[in-house]
Structure 1
Amino acid sequence: MTTSALLSALRGAGRRQITASTVAARQATGPHVLRVDGFTRVREKAANGTAVLSSPFGVGGHDWRIMCYPNGDTEKAEGHLSLFLMHENHAKTGDATAKFKISVLDQACKPYWCRSQEEHRFVNQGWGWDKFIKLEDLDREKHLKDDCLSVLCDVTIDLGLRTDDYTAEVAAAEQLKLASPPFDLHGFALSEAIWNKQAADVMN
């Protein structure tokens, strides 16, 4: 039952002047896409232990970067793609708790290989996977078409509890959220819409 429906029921029971407030756990979610153009050339330039970085992107009042090691971040990870989420402004904002998922996309803009981290507290710069995927498992037609690697990172930040007055504006937003979308998106159109909506870096 929505808050609007609850208030309607209570007013119908005689509580005409009733007001309301809501308490909820708040989150902020944001995606970022890193595209590495000329992946073969980048691998030649970035030896084992050398990273390339996305530009900073903001989620939940914190700045983040995707850190990519095209040839692995250590000798033990050589032959793998290493991917990490970096908390860019930790020195300024302090610790942050985040859930995140990093995905290598295929040519249909769909996640091919994903890894997720639940509720990690960033007490220093970053967290991720040194052996995210074997380089030999990246297919040139499916994942590296035109020699381009696309990495998507979805970050969700816990913003804690928040209390809001239930106003007419909140009620209108609640009803809009419940309404069905005026059109459907399927197949390629959906992928294209998602792709166009997300911020992207391009590295040459």
Structure 2
Amino acid sequence: MPASSPAAADGTPWRSASAIVAEAVSGYHVLKVVGYSRTKDVANSKAIKSRPFLAGAANDNVEEAVKASAKFSLLDQDGKLVPSYSFTTLPINFSEKRNWGYSKFIKREVLEKSEHLKDDSFTVRFDVTVMKDIHTQGTPTIVVPPSEMHRHFGDLLLSKEGADVKFRVCKKTFSTHRSVPVARSPLFKKMLLGPMLLGPMKEGTTTSAEVFGALLTFMYTDELPDMKEQEESEMVQHLLVAADRYNLERLKLICEDKLCKHIDTGSAATILALAEKHSCHGLKEACFNFLSASTALKAVMENDGFENLTKNCPSVLKELVSKGISC
């Protein structure tokens, strides 16, 4: 233990503190197996690898000696862990053992009879915790809390205090602060820095009041409002359209990411058409990956959304053919 520091000029003892820290970084990777029936042709001695992924700041494909543990979990159709098929390994030293996991995670016949295999697809999640070196660090005397700006701006939106612009959407009036949408959206900037408004500004699109309210919440807080799980897909589709119109690129990407988790036989055609219309390349590729399953495309073609896709997005059908995706 280090010797104590000398007293300050006024006689008050100097203070210091430290901590011994055994840190770990964690991350997870969600892997969706599309076209499960076709993977049965792979020999038992062969492995099908996922893409490399990150656990915190550490790549799982490391060469140096690293100790880590992993949790392997089957996910249900709502993306939740299935407790009976969720297993955690002991910490493993990579310098001694390069492969580890569960050779008998779930029997094929059990998976095939379960509700977790749908549209010839199922999803698993890998949680990885990488142990870092134990070290000593000083404990700060003053702890600065994380920013609360998003909460303060959210409270400002709810309170309407100081609001100087009103929007009229589907008979509902939203009171806002001109500077916020101006700072967040080029289109709002053009709309609101024009001639002085004499009354509530009308949002002249098919945007619903609920969607416009969610749009304002994001512009004030950089977060989406809470949504009911069963309503999220439809709501996020409308938000993506609004984000594209108002040039809110981060919101658009958030919507793309959320919609990737809602692709199924009932929604794939509609989401693909949406992705094509609004230039959502990542979402479009996710739809193609889903449709590449042996039974997925046939099931999608039986839905009304596919007729709309063929009518309004014929180029997408050509891309499907060029990628070798067919019934």
Q: TM-score of the superposition, structure 2-length normalised?
A: 0.39
- Is 1:101 the counterpart of 2:74 in the alignment? no
Q: How far has the Cα of 1:60 moved from its partner?
A: 5.8
Q: Which amino acid aligns with 1:164?
A: Q
3-state DSSP of counterpart to 2:144: helix
Contact 1:31 1:153 in 2 (8 A): yes
2:100 match: 127
Superposed CA offset, 1:49-96 (max 9, x none): 2221111112366432xxxxxxxxxxxxxxxxxxxxxxx332xx2x22
Richer in helix (by share) = 2
Stretch deviating more after TM superposition (141-150 or 23-32): 141-150
Letter in 1 for 2:105: F
> Is it true that 1:47 corresponds to 2:43 in the alignment?
yes
Q: Aligned to 2:34, which of 34, 37, 45?
A: 37
- Percent of matched pairs sharing the same residue: 29
**What 5-or-longer segments of structure 1 have no aligned partner?**
1-13, 65-87, 177-181
Q: 1:23 is matched with which residue: 20, 23, 47? A: 20
Instruction: Tell me the equivalent position of 2:311.
Output: none
Aligned partner of residue 119 in structure 2, secondary structure: helix
Deviations 1:10-47 (A, max 9, x none): xxxx9575233332211111101111111112323x23
**8 Å CA contact retained: 1:60, 1:159:** no
| 1:149 CA drift (Å) | 1.6
Instruction: Note if contact 1:140-1:147 (Cα within 8 Å) is conserved in structure 2.
Output: no
Contact 1:32/1:154 (8 A) holds in 2:
yes
Q: How does 1:1-204 map to 2 (within 5 A)?
A: 17-44=14-41, 46-59=42-55, 62-64=58-60, 88-90=61-63, 93=64, 95-112=65-82, 113-122=85-94, 123-139=96-112, 142-167=115-140, 171-173=143-145, 188=229
Give the aligned length.
Answer: 152
The one-letter code of the counterpart of 2:73 is S
Q: Counterpart of 1:38 in structure 2: which amino acid?
A: G
The structure that is strand-richer by fraction is 1
* Distance change >3 Å, CA 15–CA 149, structure 1 → 2: farther
Structure 2 CA distance for aligned equivalents of residues 172 and 146 of structure 1? 49
Unaligned runs of 5+ in 2: 1-10, 149-154, 156-224, 234-253, 259-285, 293-327
Q: Which protein, 1 or 2, shows the higher relative CO under an 8 Å CA cutoff with sep ≥ 6?
A: 1
Amino acid at match of 2:140: T
Counterpart-to-counterpart distance in 1, 2:51 and 2:118: 23
Deviation at 1:133, TM superposition (A): 0.9
